[in-house]
Amino acid sequence: MVKKGKTGSWEARFFRRVENRSARIGIIGLGYVGLPLAVEFARAGFRVTGFEIDAKRVGILNSGRSYIQDVPTKELGQLVRSGMLKATLSFDSLRQMDAIDICVPTPLRKTRDPDVSYIAAAVGEIAQRLRPGQLVVLESTTYPGTTDELVRPMLEARGLRAGRDFFLAFSPERVDPGNPRHNTRNIPKVIGGVTPGCTRAASELYSSVLDRVVPVGSTRVAEMVKLLENTYRSVNIGLVNEIALMCDKMKIDVWEVIDAAATKPFGFMPFYPGPGLGGHCIPIDPFYLSWKAKQSGFEARFIELAGHVNSHMPHHVAGLVATALNQKKKSIRGSKILILGVAYKADIDDVRESPALDLIEILEKEGAHVEFADPHVPYIRVDGEKRPARRLSPSVLRGADCTVIVTRHRAFDFAVVARHARTIVDCRNALAGRKRSGLVRL
């Protein structure tokens, strides 16, 4: 447990309520971050209220069903029926919460500037109802300084002061959808408060639910931690994607190169090329950092270059499709293309920022007729049009002029793909060791 130190009456009350599990927890935003967090708090014995603006989500959750793959409906249903977890569209009960977590989206604008409008809207709702003794924690990924420069002034506008009248902290979400080993409970939780007392309060709350908390010296450090983590991945993926492009020109098997390099027991960590970056974090977070750096007069060249390389990969894959079809004396225009997997990573149903969507757009602009198969994604929307997934079968494979492996779902039988697809572009090394005509690998 975290050492509490000296506290005033409202502070002491907060710590007591956390310790005896009588503290009420509010989660604003019940998506891939908020809902798993709400479940962990409820599972630990806290009463949790989820605040949403999506009426459909509220209805589904209050019926005891889950819409997040990593949250089992059976467990969620038990928590809802026991009264430990509920969702609402009304923000009025924020006044009754002892702790409020903000878990809302933080997208980029088309200009690659941070869009913090969802954070501002959530903080605005809290500010109207803020009372002494509450803890407010921002979990949404954002640029360093957001908590101090945006959240704190909004919450203090009516006279209450962070660290004196209420607690305020930042704790970056760390979620890896579809990962069976690492989940909300066992991923170490970084916490930075606007004062040491705020850090202690947030640490006390999270340590009562999660396996490990990692206090840091400020909200800015905590905000920077998240951006470093995902920028590290983006830059290294950009590097290996550039190596893949280089190997393609030099007729070298990039997969063999990486596997051999990975045998080195020190100084090397394998990253793997692919058709582009997807998900909410890695394609977006580095640009939050580069945007903030520009405000300080610093040009983040590594970040911008990695973003350029990664964003080019769907175009490179389209070029590989053209090459594969040319070998069969066909062109992209008029060809039937089958995309295997539109989720941004294997074995999940999340299509946010998926490179498959960019690839589909590129191929269709070239005149191709594109369909997709994905056991986890029943449909996608393209230009507002709802497109259903095809059920993968030998006949569907044989009916396509070219099959593109974009996502390596375990549910795909790649032996069947290798046997029945006429031409294949393999972006994930799913057919490693298989030699056949009409196979082009990234």
Distance of alpha carbon 61 from alpha carbon 53, whole angstroms: 13
Catalytic residues: 281
Strand partners, 426: 405, 441
Backbone dihedral angles phi then psi of residue 19, each to the nearest 5 degrees = -65, -40
Distance of alpha carbon 406 from alpha carbon 314, whole angstroms: 10
Q: Residue with structure tokens 């589904």?
A: 60
- Token pair, residue 285, equals 């977070």
Distance of alpha carbon 206 from alpha carbon 189, whole angstroms: 8
- Residues with Cβ within 8 Å of 442's Cβ and at least 6 positions away in sequence, in order, are 244, 248, 254, 273, 274, 275, 316, 317, 320, 425, 426, 427, 428, 429
State how beta strands 24-28 and 99-102 pair. parallel
CA dihedral 419, 421, 427, 431 (to 10 degrees): 0
DSSP assignment string, 77-108: HHHHHTTSEEEES--GGGGG-SEEEE-----B
